[in-house]
Structure 1
Amino acid sequence: MERSLDPQAEPSLPKEPVHRFLKPLSRFLHVEASSGIVLLLCAVIALVAANSGVADQYLGFWKMHVGLTIGDFTLDHSLKHWINDGLMAIFFFVIGLEVKREIVMGELQDFRRAALPLVAALGGMVVPAGIFIAMQAGSPGQRGWGVPMATDIAFVVGCMAVLGRRVPAALRIILLSLAIVDDIGAIFVIAFGYTETIHWSWLILGLIGIGVVVLLQRLGVRSIGMYTLVGVLIWLGFHESGIHATIAGVALGLLTPARAYLERGIGGTLMHMASDVVHGEDWEADSHRAKTVSKYRWLSRETISPLEYLIYVLHPWVAFVIMPLFALANAGVVLSLADIASSVSVAVIAGLVIGKPVGILLCSWVAVKLGIARLPADITWRHLAGGGFLAGIGFTMALFITSLAFADADLLRATKVGVLVGSLISAVVGMVILATAPVNNEEKLSTGMESANV
């Protein structure tokens, strides 16, 4: 019997009962807005638990110590520390990957397109930090100047998904690019603003590890396992050096190749050579079947870049495991009116709710007037104002910087309360502005046609 040669014909794969459950889950995990929903749910769970009768047990759970001892060397930290310094290094690794993708092949590779989000992001970092410093100068709370600078992309994407076509496509691109630039700024803040003591011997180990990664790339080593092993050593070096371990994740992300090892044509030719194996011809006669399958699996993976492959593989883990765990461990704050009214909390709220939109709008307006940047045709200043308020949602990165800035329990709690309240106000105001903003004619026509088709 002849097999179909139609390249568009999709083969019938074995169907198992578990696929009925996994397929909807897979669709949910690959919808960007879903991560914001899960993150919000975990934040609510943490807040409810921290303000309930099980508060002591809940907060005590994250303080439970887990350690590893090898000879005279011991790593012994709380669960919360392992999440913030260990798992979040993977989060920052993915940020490094996304930053490199945007610089190499995304919006940030063309200065004319990148000018507006770059300038807007700069204003959205400097003005909130300036407001915070002005309100906290000379007090112990001034160490938190970096808290209101960052934007939480998961929540911003979730808000835009709820608004649907009320958010112009150009504004989506600006906000996503702005969030990437914000992340770059947060990385510098963490590296230079919250590093006090450096243990040079450990830092040298981390830097040697980075050199080994570069050498392995030059030698053509393609093993993810090998890079993972070296990556763990780099993480350890940075962790013990005093420079926050998440910087190691960023460095490895930026070092990841953005181009595929095999050109598309070569990959297609090699896969065509594997046709007989794939279709089962001479299968029984092949004495090296496992080796053959491994070889062609490698070939299929190498037709896309390591950067693209790792983002696809790691994104669900970061969005639906690491970030929710971070929220569960860090958003559990005992709420009180005294903390909301405290000076450091008010400074954070002012930085997020006032500083973010003012900084973004002011710097964007100056850039447009000077001819450095151009406002896209399908968005108005009202749209950009709404986007500026959404950028004031600082949840994940703001809480992360809070944990670095303060050791004092009262300041830590008050700052977290400020982040939660400020992010909530920013989200509500931003969504109201965008929901009531006029939709341009092209979008109205598109929406009308879709409604007619339905």
Structure 2
Amino acid sequence: MASPSTIEPRQQHIQPVHPNVTVPLPEQPIDRLVRTFARFLHIEATSGVLLMLCTAFAIFMANSAWADSYLMFWKTEVGVSFGSLHFRHSLRHIINDGLMVIFFFVIGLEVKRELAHGALADLRRATLPIAAAVGGMLVPAGIYLAFQYDQPAARGWGIPMATDIAFVVGFLALLGSRVPNSLRVLLLSLAIVDDIGAIIVIAIGYTHELDGRFLMLAAIGIGVVHLFSRIGVRRFPPYIIAGLFAWFAFHESGVHATLTGVILGLMTPAKATIVPDHFHQYLLQTGDLFRGEGWHNEDRRAHKVREVQRLTRETVSPLEYLEATLHPWSSYFIIPIFAMANAGVSLQLANVGDSVAVAVALGLVIGKPLGVLLFCLLTVRLGWAKMPHGLSWRILIAGSFLTGIGFTMALFIDGLAFGEEGLDTAKTGIMVGSAISALLGMTFLMWTLPKHHAPHTAEE
């Protein structure tokens, strides 16, 4: 058997990553599979399709012969014990109050990005989506309360308020270049502001009795995170430990624990530590180390590798790095798992006509587009904002129906309003209302949008 040093190397292919740059790594058989999978994940509609599949699976299982076993699975208790301290909760609770913290953290990062560099950074550009989002929250809540006023189910007023950004992105992607960039930006900005509104609703409307001691501990945890940022701590583990401490304190305080994610996301720095030009100079200075025998003679190669890795990461902001790292986990793992744990609803004809289901569905189908359009019209007529270039009222009316897709946040608030398992009638209203909104939005957009749309311009 030949030794490794005498084996003839097979033909190697360098992997291109940029028209003018190649990565000096030999291509391996798994790289082709990974690249194909990565391209699939980068398709805008993918996360929405996966979410729909998981929702369909949950509904199927909840109405099958395995319904009892499926629903009981999410009630399975898991936890840890340390001496006299016990932390035991159902699997659904761990998902809703634990994993969903990462989802809310990503929302916090997205909001911070939009406030720092995006559509919400310029008040003039932000006025229209903010007004649209406010209208799209107030009118659905008003419609719901009109049906449930002075009823026990009035507590669910926040259910039809938020737009599900994953579904909106997915449906817009199906229409491709026909969708004006101005409509895309407006709807996504509106969804971001919607998320902010939903977070405020959760914090104010769905917070139970408060425990001041744990609130103080949560404040200390958040303060430690801020201190780490001020003194220049760059490693993630200290932040993770302090964040977990704050999460546990919020969880025990009565404030919903997922708000920890939002707060930490908003606190994440949006500026890079190292200027790219300075990093370029560093690479030029250390380049000689990799020439000739220099690297083989280097006795601290592992240390040098870690240094280059750390400095490379510091060329982008922590916000950008964390959003790129966590967004796939949020979109392709956490939200689908959340859907499977919470979307299982028994489909009964009686539920469709229930007053709660009707209130939720009307809030989504009628309240969302009506609120969006009324507040947009009012804002434009008062001269506070202008319609974006390339966006007509006809297209905005058609696109506004997509804002009635309120799946993820609606289910989340349903669980807060009516207990961990939520209310089947409310879930039925969410499913029916979101489905009708998607159908109307896509139908009107395909009818309204031109068959071929001009390439996006900078003005849009």
Q: Give the alignment's TM-score, normalised by structure 2.
A: 0.93
Distance verdict in 2 for CA 1:446–1:183, change over 3 Å: closer
Counterpart CA distance in 1 for 2:404 and 2:448 is: 19
Where in structure 2 are there 5+ consecutive unaligned residues?
1-17
Counterpart CA distance in 2 for 1:277 and 1:99 is: 42
| Residues 11-40 of structure 1 deviation map (CA, whole Å, 9 limit, x = unaligned) | 341222211211111112223321111111
Mapped contact 1:330–1:399 kept (Cα < 8 A): yes
Which AA in structure 2 matches 1:40?
Answer: M
Mapped contact 2:177–2:455 kept (Cα < 8 A): no
Identity of aligned residues (%): 53
Match status 1:226 vs 2:238 = yes
User: Within 5 Å, which residues of 2 pair with 1:88-103?
Assistant: 88-103=100-115
Aligned position for 1:312: 324
Aligned position for 2:201: 189
Aligned pair partner of 2:441 in 430, 437, 440: 430
Counterpart CA distance in 2 for 1:279 and 1:198 is: 63
Counterpart CA distance in 1 for 2:154 and 2:290 is: 63
| Residues 133-160 of structure 1 deviation map (CA, whole Å, 9 limit, x = unaligned) | 1110011110000000000000001110
Mapped contact 1:393–1:423 kept (Cα < 8 A): yes
Question: 1:227 Cα shift?
Answer: 0.6
User: Within 5 Å, which residues of 2 pair with 1:1-12?
Assistant: 8-12=20-24
Distance verdict in 2 for CA 1:82–1:408, change over 3 Å: closer
Counterpart CA distance in 2 for 1:159 and 1:374 is: 26
Question: 1:284 Cα shift?
Answer: 1.7
Question: 1:287 Cα shift?
Answer: 1.0
| Residues 312-347 of structure 1 deviation map (CA, whole Å, 9 limit, x = unaligned) | 000110000000000000001111011111000000
Which AA in structure 2 matches 1:238?
Answer: F
Which AA in structure 2 matches 1:208?
Answer: I
Aligned pair partner of 1:418 in 414, 429, 432: 429
Counterpart CA distance in 1 for 2:406 and 2:39 is: 27
Counterpart CA distance in 2 for 1:377 and 1:388 is: 17
Query: 1:32 aligns to what SS in structure 2?
Result: coil
Aligned position for 1:405: 417
Aligned position for 2:13: none
User: Within 5 Å, which residues of 2 pair with 1:37-436?
Assistant: 37-278=49-290, 281-407=293-419, 412-436=423-447
Mapped contact 2:219–2:246 kept (Cα < 8 A): yes
Distance verdict in 2 for CA 1:324–1:279, change over 3 Å: farther
Mapped contact 1:46–1:331 kept (Cα < 8 A): yes
Query: 1:10 aligns to what SS in structure 2?
Result: strand
Question: 1:94 Cα shift?
Answer: 0.4
Mapped contact 1:267–1:299 kept (Cα < 8 A): yes
Question: 1:165 Cα shift?
Answer: 2.6
| Residues 243-276 of structure 1 deviation map (CA, whole Å, 9 limit, x = unaligned) | 0000000000000000001112112211222323
Where in structure 1 are there 5+ consecutive unaligned residues?
1-5, 448-454
| Residues 378-427 of structure 1 deviation map (CA, whole Å, 9 limit, x = unaligned) | 11112111221100000000000000000397x71100110011000000
Query: 1:13 aligns to what SS in structure 2?
Result: strand
Mapped contact 1:166–1:434 kept (Cα < 8 A): no
Mapped contact 1:353–1:425 kept (Cα < 8 A): yes
Counterpart CA distance in 1 for 2:188 and 2:454 is: 25
Question: 1:7 Cα shift?
Answer: 10
Question: 1:439 Cα shift?
Answer: 2.2
Aligned position for 1:452: none
